Amino acid sequence: MTAVHQRLEAEGLYRRFAGRAVVNDVSLSIDAGEILCLLGPSGCGKSTTLRMLAGVETPERGVIRVDGVEVEGPLVSVPPEGRSVGLMFQDFALFPHLSVADNVAFGLRGGKAGKRARVRELLDRVHLAQHIDSYPHELSGGEQQRVALARALAPRPLVMLMDEPFSGLDNRLRDGIRDETLALLKEEGTAVVMVTHEPEEAMRMADRIALMRDGRIVQQGAPYNLYNAPVDKAAAAFFSDVNVIRGTVTGGLTRTAFGEFLAPGHADGSKVEIIIRPQHLKLDFDRNGQGPAPTPVNGVPARGSVVRARYLGRESLVEFEMEFDGTHLSAVVPGVFLPNAGTPLWLMMRRDRCHVFPAQVVT
């Protein structure tokens, strides 16, 4: 029986700069046709990880395999051109003195007719066949980006490594090019690792997201899981603003103005933070000072008064000052909802949307 290999595997990658570990024991694996986004704040080690996968940076420790073949390890270090990886970076730099066709054909081997056919196929695919004889300076930024994509994919790399590939494009172009790129990468069945610091971009592009912080992957999984089951407060807060309610644990429970929350695994007397995203708070009207009845799903409602409400386009953001202790909480409501400042409303926290974490000690 032949072993089934992941298209790309990395185990225990480790790299220091100036004595500091900027990539610290990073492991990941990607299958053919899968897109993994390395997501995290600036300086967390995303690019260094990608550069090690590409072979332009050498890990101090760790192993990298492409289709089960070791390309980096204690005894091997295959140069970038021997790894079957395609590279695409923010400054994708086409060759200015070469035509579009020659740019795309640059990494191709083989006969002239075969090369020409592959160039045509890719330029058709990115809707640039009419520019086959143009030069890069005759193209818009978005068109140049598509040529760069065609060039990187032309030799049919097993793995595509992309570092913030869309950040140089203006917002209007970006969504279209992202979607087109995604479709093409899927069609080609390439395994992709893409670096980004934008959660929306990762959610849009990735089959899986690896969230990095301080050189480590802190959580890895489908976008839905990272958004809805964050490992800690910082992981939750990376994707959206969050509301925080503080409490103390007694007998596996925390009592708050919103009722009881389960806090299993937290020691008696320990402080916890209950996290909920603004879009997951439920609102209800004030009926002469009466809120809705408590339920097991929503807990106890708590009253607050509107501080400010803003319309954001698809949704409205309403900020409250809560009666119980003056805490400020934000709620996002679909559509237009702009109650006046001072309006009393009731807020509820759906238990399946709340996350209980140990309180962070402020030092």
Ligand X SMILES: Nc1ncnc2c1ncn2[C@@H]1O[C@H](COP(=O)(O)OP(=O)(O)OP(=O)(O)O)[C@@H](O)[C@H]1O
CB of 121 to ligand X, least distance (A): 33
Q: How far is residue 315's CA from residue 119's CA, in Å, rounded to a whole number?
A: 44
According to the binding rule CB under 6 A, does residue 277 interact with ligand X?
no
CB of 94 to ligand X, least distance (A): 22
Q: Would you call 273 exposed, middle or buried from its count of C-beta atoms within 10 A (0-12, 13-18, 19+)?
A: buried
Q: How far is residue 151's CA from residue 160's CA, in Å, rounded to a whole number?
A: 12
Per CB under 6 A, which region of 39-47, 100-108, 109-117, 166-174 contacts ligand X? 39-47
Q: Which helix (H) or strand (E) holds 18?
A: none
**β-bridge partners, 20:** 17
CB of 142 to ligand X, least distance (A): 22
CB of 45 to ligand X, least distance (A): 4
Q: How far is residue 254's CA from residue 249's CA, in Å, rounded to a whole number?
A: 5
According to the binding rule CB under 6 A, does residue 162 interact with ligand X?
no
According to the binding rule CB under 6 A, does residue 355 interact with ligand X?
no
**Which one, of 52, 46, 107, lies nearest residue 77 by Cα?**
52
According to the binding rule CB under 6 A, does residue 56 interact with ligand X?
no
Binding-site member from 12, 17, 117, 252 for ligand X (CB under 6 A): 17
Nearer residue to ligand X within complex by CB, 2 or 42: 42
Q: How far is residue 301's CA from residue 216's CA, in Å, rounded to a whole number?
A: 39
Per CB under 6 A, which region of 35-43, 109-117, 315-323, 328-336 contacts ligand X? 35-43
Binding-site member from 2, 4, 19, 42 for ligand X (CB under 6 A): 42
Q: How far is residue 119's CA from residue 113's CA, in Å, rounded to a whole number?
A: 10
Binding-site member from 47, 99, 144, 220 for ligand X (CB under 6 A): 47
DSSP string, 124-180: HHTT-GGGTT--GGGS-HHHHHHHHHHHHHTT--SEEEEESTTTTS-HHHHHHHHHH
According to the binding rule CB under 6 A, does residue 211 interact with ligand X?
no
Binding-site member from 65, 115, 197, 277 for ligand X (CB under 6 A): 197
Helix (H, G, I), strand (E, B) or coil at 123: helix
Helix (H, G, I), strand (E, B) or coil at 224: helix
Q: How far is residue 104's CA from residue 132's CA, in Å, rounded to a whole number?
A: 9
CB of 48 to ligand X, least distance (A): 3
CB of 193 to ligand X, least distance (A): 12
According to the binding rule CB under 6 A, does residue 48 interact with ligand X?
yes
According to the binding rule CB under 6 A, does residue 43 interact with ligand X?
yes
Q: With left for phi above 0 and alpha for psi between -120 and 50, is residue 354 left, alpha or beta? A: beta
Binding-site member from 45, 259, 299, 339 for ligand X (CB under 6 A): 45
Binding-site member from 8, 13, 22, 119 for ligand X (CB under 6 A): 22
Angle at 107 between CA 137 and CA 46, to 5 degrees: 80
Binding-site member from 10, 13, 40, 331 for ligand X (CB under 6 A): 40
Nearer residue to ligand X within complex by CB, 5 or 213: 213
Q: Which spans of this chain sit near ligand X (rule: CB under 6 A)?
A: 17, 22, 40, 42-48, 197
